[in-house]
Each structure stands twice: as structure tokens, then as C-alpha cells.
Chain A
Amino acid sequence: MTQFFQVLGMSYEWAWFVATICGVLLIALPLMLAVAMVIYAERRLWAFMALRRGPNVVGPFGLLQSFADGLKVMLQETIIPAASNKGLFLIAPIITFTVALSAWAVIPFNSGAILGDINVGLLYVLAISSLGVYGTVIAGWSSNSKYPFFSAMRASAQMISYEVSIGFILICVVLWAGTFNMNDIVQAQKGHILGVVNAFALNPLLFPLWVMFFISGLAECQRTPFDLTEAESELVAGYQTEYSSMAFALYWLGEYANVLLMCTLNATLFWGGYLPPVDWAPLYLVPGIVWLLLKICVFFFMFGWVKATVPRYRYDQLMRLGWKIFLPLSLLFVFVVSGYLMLTGHFS
């Protein structure tokens, strides 16, 4: 895109600057629209699974429901509790929202269509997603209220526990791909299974890791069955209890942007990203972003499916799963995968 603006007669620096701004807008604006639509889609999905109708009044099939909700919260009054820590109380939702958007900078949408093609892309995603916990913790502490505080405690312990095993799982992917660059990780999956299927996940050594990654992703996004931070039967609404108006809406948008990001990571790291599912020439005629969006939709459906059907874990069960099952298993797989790759001469 930089070259396009250079053709229009700009110097290289300005062309780069304008191209980057355009890239950011090209990712962030459709993402916001997508978040509005997936909130609607997920509510319909849960409704169908619970034999209800779901939102079907605003607009055709209720498609405009999310926009109506957005307008509603925008017109509400922002209530700041008198005993809260006001500065931090307002910063917390901004942190959640910013973090949820900034990780998208290194996601490849097509071959070469990537905002920040850095060679530590995967580490960048890990670094940014490890910041997400601060939005929750700061909100819980600054609200100066019991339930949000409990929620903040739970969130900080939960996020740290599952990040450890996510790190080990991703190390296996990086070992196999041989790079941290997101675009190269996608390219490494081309014809991975017998030169036909473009996906790491169907590899027998990596499939269990993908299952663990999916479940850890649920925990990392604090979705059911691991949504103990906003367990409505115990904590009212957890860290969001004291929030209203746009601050509350920022949490909602951030949460769904995070869910979409986790779906995209599933698709990019394990299921071939923007590559078609099978390495067959006519399939490459379809633009890569279509394949990526299709895969994201499938994973988003799975996230919604889990939320509609699986009951919530107890906190000790959550910790047991993270530390006693996922951590030893993922460590074992780091050992097995690196051993396999070394014995088969992958590194030479």
C-alpha cells in the first residue's frame, strides 16, 4: 500500500505513514462491525439451542439489534461510584478495548496482507494478550466493591495459569513451523498432511495440542465454562458490576474482539489460516480472506456452542485442569514434538 501512495506523489515517509493509518482503519472498522454482527449471531445461536427465538424485532430478522443496543448504552448516563478510584476506573475499560484491538496488527488476512509483518509476530500476540488481564484486575480493584474485587482476584490467577500452557502449546507450533512470523507459520502449513491438507491440526502429534489450545482459549477469553470472573450466580456481573454506559460497552466490544481473535488464532496457527483447506489449485482462485473468514465463523460457532451447552466449572476444577492436566501434557508434547523433529532431521 505504501507503493500506491508513493505513486500518488508522496515521499516515502509520508506514504508509509498514510498507508499504516489506512491499514489500521481497514482492520479496526470492519472488526467493530463484525463484533456487532457476531454478538447478534451468537444471541440467535443460543436462542435456537435453547428453543427460543432470540432477538428478531429490530430490522429484518433482528439484524440491527446490536446497533440498537449500542445507541442505548451511548445515551445512558456514565455512573462513577463515589468511593471508586476514578482515574483507574475509567482507564480500565480503555485498556481492555485497546488490547483487544492491537493484537490484530500481526494477523495475516491473505498472503502479504498483514499490517505488521514482524518476525516475532506470535510473541507479540502472546505479549498483547497477556495484558488483557489488567483491564479486568484494575476494574475490579478501582471499583472499590466486593464482587468486582473477587472477580479481579479470580481473573489474575486464571489468566496466568492458562497462559503457561498456551505458551508451551505454541512452542510446539513454532518448532514445527521454524519461525515466529505469522505469515510464515501459515505458509509452513501448506500441504502439511501428505502434501494435500493445509492444516497443522490434522497432524497426529499436533491435534491434541489444538484441542488443548481451544480449551485454553476459552479460559483465556473468560468464556463459559470458565467465566468465573463474571459468574452471575455468585458475583452479580463480576468486574463489570459498577460499570454503565459506554464504559460497559467497551468491555462488551473488547470481550467479543478477544473471542474473534482467539478464533482467528485457532484458524491461523492450526487450520491453515488464509490457505484453502486442501492444496488443490482451483481452490486458490477464491481469495484467502474468504477462507480465513469461513474458518473464523466455524470456530465462532464452536465457541457459541460451548457457551450454550457446557455448565460452568468450579474454581478448584479450573485450577486443576490448568495446572495438573494441561501443563504436564503440554510439557510432554514439547518433549515429544521436538524429539520427533530432531530424529527425523527436521532441523538439519
Chain B
Amino acid sequence: MIQEIAFYLFAGLMLVAGALVILSRNPVHSVLWLIVAFFNAAGLMVLVGAEFIAMLLVIVYVGAVAVLFLFVVMMLDIDFAELRAGFVRNFPLGLALAAVLFVELFVGLVVRSAGGLTLGTPDGSAAPSLGTTNTEAIGALLYTRYIFLFEAAGIILLVAMIGAIVLTHRQRPDSRGQNVSRQVARRPQDATRNVKPEVGKGVQL
């Protein structure tokens, strides 16, 4: 009973938030609705007993990815007239993409109803067996059976990260950055001099 109410609450809110992501005029509002959608997805994950994934979803997507989205989108200067002109021009492409996605969804459903795939069941019978926690179960699989896939994913991410840095990094020879260790290593006697000039004589620097 409670599970059903919670499921329909999370799922309904997620659909509404997802629709508002593309319907709201203001891009910042879109990002915020996206965050609401992520949150409800995390709620659904908790419902099927995958609390580890749920927490990772919140930490990674809500806590890091969406913040960076917001960071960029907040600084945009949007011209709505231009946006609408783009909408008319890109409408056929969007329609084609939507058709492809719909067909894929349809094929997926047909395959599933034909018994080609076994997915998790909504009554929770696919939830991990009691005794091992979620985290341990994932770790035991990820670091034994899927270790090569896991490491390959890691290497791809590393390459992507280095690539992004190489592509965007610019050396600025004129920048006057702070060299903290040099500043800390500098002693008063290297930089200052104590002199006692005669009256009326002045100091030669």
C-alpha cells in the first residue's frame, strides 16, 4: 500500500518534472526541474532496494553534474526570438529523432513481452538477498566478474579527462601566478636590510 503510493508519487513527479524540463521557458528553471527529476529517480531506486545506486545518483548527478549545468546556464544570455526561430528550423530533425526513439521503445517492449529479456520485477523479488548489503553485492560483482569492463570504463574516462584538459588548457606566459612555496621560503634577512644612516646623509639602495 505504502509502496504503491510512494511509487506513483515518485513516478508521477518525475514525469511532471521531466515534462517541465522541456516546457519551461527559462533555462535555469529547466535545470532545476531536471534536478527534481533526478531526485525522484533516486526515490524510485530506493523503492526497488538499490539504495547504493540511489545515493550515487544524488551525489553524482544532483551534487556535481547539475551544479555544473546550473553554473553554465545561469550565465547564459538567452534571446527567446532566436530560440523560437531555431525551433521551426530544427522541428523536422526533432520529429525524426522522436520517431526513432518511439520505434526503439516499441521494439524493446515487444522483445520483453516475447520473453527475450529478464528484467527486475516490480514486487521486489529481484532485490538483493538479505544478509549482503547492496554495496557489498555490487563490489563483489564489479571487482571480480566485470573487472575488465570496469577498468576499461576507468581508462576511457581518464582519456576523456586528459583530452578535455589538453584541448582547453592555454599556457599564459604573462600570468603572474602566486608561487606559495617560494613566498614561504623567503626569510626577512633576504629581503630587508637594517641600516643606520648618518644625519643628513640618506641611504643608497
Contact = CB atoms under 8 A, between A and B. Distances in A.
B173 to A, nearest CB: 18
Contacts of A156: 67-68, 70-71
Interface string B78-114: 0000000000000000000000000000000000000
Interface stretch (A36-44, A51-59, A122-130): A122-130
A118 B134 CA distance: 11
A19 B134 CA distance: 26
A180 B136 CA distance: 10
Interface stretch (A3-11, A134-142, A201-209, A222-230): A134-142
A98 interface: no
Interface stretch (B4-12, B49-57, B116-124): B49-57
Contacts of A141: 28, 70, 74
Contact of A130 (B51, B62, B68): B62
B75 to A, nearest CB: 8
The DSSP consensus for interface residues of chain A is helix
A120 B51 contact: yes
A180 B74 contact: no
A255 interface: no
A137 B67 contact: yes
Contact of A120 (B28, B68, B135): B135
Contacts, number: 70
* Chain B residues touching A, majority SS: helix
Interface stretch (A26-34, A63-71, A157-165): A157-165
B64 A163 contact: yes
A163 B63 contact: yes
A160 B133 contact: no
A317 B178 CA distance: 8
Given A152-B74, A157-B71, A159-B67, A123 B28 contact: no
Contacts of B74: 137, 141, 149, 152-153
A123 B55 contact: yes
B51 A119 contact: yes
B51 A118 contact: yes
Given A131-B62, A180-B135, A123 B67 contact: no
Contacts of A119: 51, 133-135
A137 B32 CA distance: 11
A160 B135 contact: no
Nearest to A17: B2
Considering residues A130, A138, A159, which has the most beta carbons from chain B within 10 angstroms of its beta carbon?
A130
Nearest to B75: A153
B41 interface: no
B34 to A, nearest CB: 12
B58 interface: yes
Contacts of A180: 133, 135
Nearest to A125: B55
A126 B71 CA distance: 20
Interface in A100-123: 118-120, 123
29 contacts: A88-B32, A119-B133, A120-B51, A120-B52, A120-B133, A120-B134, A126-B63, A127-B59, A130-B59, A130-B62, A130-B63, A130-B64, A131-B63, A133-B67, A137-B67, A138-B32, A141-B70, A141-B74, A149-B74, A153-B74, A157-B71, A159-B67, A160-B67, A167-B59, A180-B133, A316-B178, A317-B178, A317-B180, A320-B180
